[in-house]
Chain A
Amino acid sequence: MRSLLSKTLYDQRRGLIGWGIGLAALVALMLAYYPTVRNSPELNKFARELPQGVKALIGGTVEYTSPAGYLNGELFAFMLPLLFLVYGIGLGSRAIAGEEERRTIDLLLANPISRTRVVLEKAAAAGLGIALLGVIVVVVLLVGGRAAGMRIGVEKLVAAGVSVVLLGLLFGSLALMLSSATGARRSTRGIAAALGVAAYFLNALAPLASTLKPYRKLSPFYWYAGNEPLRHGLSAAHAGALLALTAVMVVAAVVLLNRRDIAV
């Protein structure tokens, strides 16, 4: 462990292995069901007749039994963003507030390492962890999708994987910012999770409610899914918006941690 970055990655290892296995299993399971779904066109009718509200939450505008429709409905509309959010928020809230809660931060900051570097290396380690999970999802999709007879472009799967990673990074950096600002791990986790849920519903329900419609673009979920990466690939504007917001949060985390007292 030559650096804080490598130590933080080392600390993540167990969680990362567990999450990687879990995500791979989830994706593989969903793919295993696909051949059955593909041969049941009546499901399309069923999906079409779902109430508007439910359809909005599941997301997607294509036929349910198409590869893009199925992957979106079962993984990318809800399950994967939720899991990446939970993982990202966990890492982000632990990054600074976790050290502070365990009181190890005095020992860490006594070293010739600036608070700025602490935030950046922790952010980088968390980013690498989230990205690794994204790689696992995409690899399982590529390999398993072929086995399940799923016809969908590699670039579409990669685009969806990148999008969900970017969403995880965004909420991870939100938690990192709150964690740097307050040093309180639990409330950081709570607030970030609540904001995640609110953002999800705002994006999903905005098309149905005229009062919400103008605010849809405030939701990161719009920038995550609004472009439908499984159908249209990665949009530079959407990915850029998520990345830019992430960068702002990390910078804010640096500024806020540099300003305040470290709790005893």
Chain B
Amino acid sequence: MRITSSSCAREGGSRELGRRVARLRRRARADRQVERRPLPGAPPIETEGLCKSYGDKQALLNLDLALRSGEVFGFIGPNGAGKTTTIRILMDLIRPSSGCARVLGVEPRAGGVELRRRIGYLPGELALYEELTPRRLLAHLSALRAGAGQRSIEPLAKRLSLELDRPIRTLSRGNKQKVGLVQALMHEPELLILDEPTSGVDPLVQHELHALLSEARERGQTVLISSHVLSEIERIADRIGIIRDGQLVVVDDMGALKARTARQVEIHFSGRVPPSAFEGLPGVREARFEGDAARFVVIGPIDALVKAAARFEVLTMTSREPDLEELFLTIYASGQRA
């Protein structure tokens, strides 16, 4: 409960009314104080009917999201789908138009400083104080956290091979991103919210980040990680939620989702193969034969296809992971059934 206007007290002018408002306010404040304490077992992140609109544009529409404690949750969607909007609401940088969000059991605005102490955040459009060196910037940010994470700066920088003593403006995009990662991770927060953490970093750093996030999960930290590229987070995410046009399309276990997504398999044989040998295979949706090559679209395990192909001489076989668009298509296709 929150009282936002005190105009009634002033207009009424009566002392009694004023006293009553003061009492109500005190109670409201006490309520908020209680609210501030996280409930045990509350989901680290929970949103209910979250909406955000900018003028006519609906950036988020009735988003219901619930993270489980200790999981790595991948938040996937194309650019402009509403990932950053959601995340910035969770960080109390923007306020929802309607609906509500709870982070570690409290509303972001009510949680305030105490809540942010327990969160590590990497902004999507990371901008740093370019004139500082990473060492100075990270020391400053750690000081704002009362020194938390100060001792982790060196080891984290070493693991991500980040140079600490060059001015940030001379660093590459990937190296700037590393600075952002270090500041998000250094104080080992209960909750990590990383908005497109892998953008601009090379595969080696991506690998190291995955290792760091695995360790975070082992320590019991919860991770929300957003991306517009599925392959960047499918290895690390326990579950993923797919957002499109401000709406959550699906939330599922990574494994289950992969099992029902279509992938393309291309096989080159030493000679022509009879298409009839590949008819009626479970999971194979499409088969195209061109000379010695055959292309298949398969949903789920490719076991049957492999065994059918093994009867012939196979030169090469490639299986391409579905990209985000293909994933959407399969979800929409299978969504009809579900």
Contacts and interface: CB of A to CB of B under 8 A. Distances in A.
B140 A1 contact: yes
A106 B94 CA distance: 10
A104 B144 CA distance: 15
A109 B145 CA distance: 12
Contacts of B93: 106, 109, 261-262
B183 interface: yes
A4 interface: yes
Q: Which of B88, B126, B129 neighbours the largest number of chain A CB atoms within 10 Å of its CB?
A: B129
A106 B125 contact: yes
Contact of B141 (A103, A106, A111, A114): A111
Interface stretch (B109-117, B156-164, B307-315): B109-117
A209 interface: no
Contact of B143 (A2, A107, A114, A264): A2
SS of A interface (majority): loop
A104 B123 CA distance: 9
B144 A114 contact: no
A112 B113 contact: yes
Contact of A104 (B92, B127, B136): B127
A110 B121 contact: yes
Contact of A112 (B95, B123, B128, B144): B144
A102 B127 CA distance: 7
A112 B114 CA distance: 7
Contact of B183 (A1, A104, A107, A109): A107
B144 A103 contact: no
B324 interface: no
Contacts of A261: 93-95
Contacts, number: 64
Interface string B138-179: 011101111000000000000000000000000000000000
Contacts of A217: none
B119 interface: yes
Nearest to A258: B109
B150 to A, nearest CB: 12
A7 B125 contact: no
A114 B113 contact: yes
Interface in B60-98: 84, 88, 91-95
B334 to A, nearest CB: 34
A213 B183 CA distance: 57
A113 interface: yes
A3 interface: yes
A1 B146 CA distance: 12
Nearest to B179: A107
Contacts of B183: 107
Contact of B113 (A3, A102, A104, A113): A113
Interface size class of A (residues with CB under 8 A): 10 to 19
Interface in A106-129: 106-107, 109-114
Interface string A211-252: 000000000000000000000000000000000000000000
Given A107-B128, A110-B116, A112-B117, A3 B143 contact: yes
Given A114-B112, A261-B93, A261-B95, A106 B127 contact: yes
A264 B125 contact: yes
Nearest to A1: B140
Nearest to B115: A112
Nearest to B126: A107
A262 B108 CA distance: 14
Given A110-B116, A261-B93, A262-B93, A4 B125 contact: no
Given A1-B139, A103-B127, A104-B129, A109 B91 contact: yes
Interface of B: 84, 88, 91-95, 112-114, 116-117, 119, 121, 123, 125-129, 136, 139-141, 143-146, 180, 183
12 contacts: A1-B143, A103-B125, A104-B129, A106-B91, A106-B121, A107-B126, A107-B127, A107-B141, A109-B91, A113-B113, A261-B93, A262-B94
Interface of A: 1-4, 7, 102-104, 106-107, 109-114, 261-262, 264
Given A7-B140, A112-B116, A114-B113, 6 more contacts: A106-B93, A107-B180, A113-B113, A264-B84, A264-B88, A264-B125
Sort A-B residue pairs by CB-CB distance and give the 9 closest, nearest first: A103-B127, A106-B123, A110-B121, A261-B94, A112-B117, A111-B144, A262-B93, A112-B113, A1-B140
